[in-house]
Structure 1
Amino acid sequence: MLKTAIYVDAENIKMSGGYGMRYDVLVDLANSMHSVMVRANCYLAEDLERTKADPEYRQKVHAYHNILRNCGFKIIKKYVRRFKDEDGNITTKANADMDLAIDALLQARNLDRIILLTGDGDFLRLIVALQNTGCRVEVIGFHNVNKELREVADSYISGFLIPGLLPIAGAQGEQADQWQRGTVINFNQDRGFGFFRYYRLDNNVLQSETVFFHLSKSTLTSDHYFQEPYRIFEFRVVENPANNNRSEAWDIRFMKEA
């Protein structure tokens, strides 16, 4: 069994499209049939002055922290500090990067696999150092992920593509389980069809799947969206009764650049 740890750069994730992320899904990824989670750390900022003065903010912060703890995460807080320049302008700072890096390096001696959630290129050197201890480092990010960070990691996947990690807007009711996010792996522009790659969780292990799509099932007005492999789409996977119940992607909509 691989001893696995999760380290979440919560402020970066929140500001980069991961707000509302399901932490229990991360725990499931760490507790797969081949690995077991031995540590989960979440590094976040808290405005202590606001916590004391604003009851609504305090309630939201405490509720958020309780969710993390219930999922098995240890919370490492960095309190917001305020600085005033010569012109009287106030800036705030609460950076937990150093805390995350030191903890990961110290704890790596007892780990085999690390799941790091961030898009911050400042962690490039940390990833290499962790790999040099023998750890496998898997990076999950959302928007604005540093290109070199993707390349240096042992694996990188967009958090948008992990089933259930970030709920799909409007995916409710009986059709909720049909909705997926994926990327184009092949597109025939002349004939207007192609294939998406998406993922399913099987025994908490990400399994790659492919599904056929046709432009007639898209909400988009142009086929140029499908000519780039780094774009993420949302769609329903359905069995088409007019095509021998073959699985197809319907209601295709563009989400973002991967």
Structure 2
Amino acid sequence: MHFYPTERVAVFIDGANLYSAARTLGFDIDYRKLLDQFAKKAMLIRAFYYTALNEDQEFSPIRPLVDWLDYNGYTVITKQIKEYTDSLGRRKVKGNIDVELAIDMMELSPFVDHFVLFSGDGDFRRLVEAVQSKGKRVTVVSTIRTQPPMVADELRRQADVFVELQDLGTQIARAHSAPRDGAPAAGGRGFADEAPRFIQRDGDVD
């Protein structure tokens, strides 16, 4: 990734999307390393992490990660998971944070030169276009080395720069894991391992 030394940078992390991409590539994220990578390359203004939480559970498996991030340089934005039953009687959950992320990015745009978006969600293409129209650069971090690729083609095309997550993995992976070509993760437990596996964005419960 290329940054100008005086460039004001903000990092936006779609938590569920980044978790899925990294796990599919076979490594876990070290969020302290991730933050350090940007702090030493440019003027890091803010780092946001977005995720959905089920506050009704006695213990949320992602809560330890959220608490750690809150105390270690990240602005954490959470949203209550909503459960409902569809017309076929299937239990579903919704925990979409796209709107919150989009609003925060637009509000911060006057104070930032370069946005880094950790997500492959094609719904963000219009958001990227909107901040670019304000003279901002946007880097998208996701992966095309999975089958199927985890970044939408329209988002990748819209970005000023696309960074392959697997290439960045050598710099931000937890010590017990290393990125591998599409291999499933193995061994060790860390904050990234605590992310809930039962939630799909606006989808069914596994």
Q: TM-score, normalised by structure 1?
A: 0.60
For 2:9, the aligned partner's letter is T
How high is the sequence identity, in percent, across the aligned residues?
27
Equivalent pair of 1:40/1:72 in contact (CA under 8 Å): yes
How far off is 1:27 after superposition?
1.5
Which residue is 1:21 aligned to? 29
8 Å contact kept, 2:34–2:171: no
**Unmatched tracts of structure 2, length 5 or more:** 1-5, 184-206
Alignment of 1:2-81 (within 5 A): 2-18=7-23, 20-33=28-41, 35-50=42-57, 52=58, 55=59, 58=60, 60-81=61-82
Instruction: Report SS of the residue matched to 1:20.
Output: coil
Name the CA distance, whole Å, in 1 between partners of 2:95 and 2:10: 23
| Offset, 1:67 | 2.4
Deviation at 1:37, TM superposition (A): 0.9
After TM superposition, give the deviation of residue 169 of structure 1 in Å.
6.2
SS at match of 1:49: coil
In structure 1, the residue matched to 2:182 is: 256
1:49 CA drift (Å): 1.7
**Does the aligned pair in 1 maintain the 2:22–2:165 contact within 8 Å?**
no
Q: Is it true that 1:141 corresponds to 2:142 in the alignment?
A: yes
Which residue of 2 is the match for residue 99 of structure 1?
100
C-alpha contact 1:27 1:71 (8 A) present in aligned 2: no
- Between structures 1 and 2, the one with greater strand share: 1
Contact 1:23 1:71 in 2 (8 A): no
CA distance in 1, matches of 2:129, 2:175: 33
Q: Which has the higher contact order (CA 8 A, sep 6+)?
A: 2
Q: Match for 1:87: what amino acid?
A: L
Q: Counterpart amino acid of 1:23?
A: Y
Shift of 1:106: 0.9
Contact 1:4 1:38 in 2 (8 A): yes
Matched position secondary structure for 2:157: helix
Q: How much has 1:168 moved relative to structure 2?
A: 7.4
8 Å contact from structure 1 (residues 9, 42) kept in 2: yes
Q: Give the match's secondary structure for 1:95.
A: coil
Q: Distance in 2 between matches of 1:29 and 1:137?
A: 17
> Secondary structure of 1:86's partner?
coil
RMSD (CA atoms): 2.2
The answer for the alignment partner of 2:121 in structure 1 is 120
The structure that has the greater radius of gyration is 1
Mapping of residues 82-97 of structure 1, within 5 Å: 82-97=83-98
Matched, 1:156 2:156: no
Retained in 2: the 8 A contact 1:139–1:156? yes
Aligned equivalents of 2:128, 2:87: Cα separation in 1? 38
5+ unaligned residues in a row in structure 1: which ranges? 172-180, 182-233, 235-254
Distance 1:36 1:170, change over 3 A: closer
- The alpha carbon displacement at 1:12 in A equals 1.5
Structure 2 residue aligned with 1:208: none
How far apart are 1:167 and its partner, in Å? 4.1
CA displacement 1:2-28 (0-9 Å, x = unmatched) = 111010011112223357312222222
Aligned with 1:48: secondary structure? Answer: coil
| Cross-structure match for 1:213 | none
Number of positions where the alignment pairs a residue of Structure 1 with one of Structure 2: 169
Shift of 1:150: 1.5
Per-residue CA shift, 1:59-118, capped at 9, x if unaligned? Answer: x43321132123311111011101112332211000000100011011111101111000
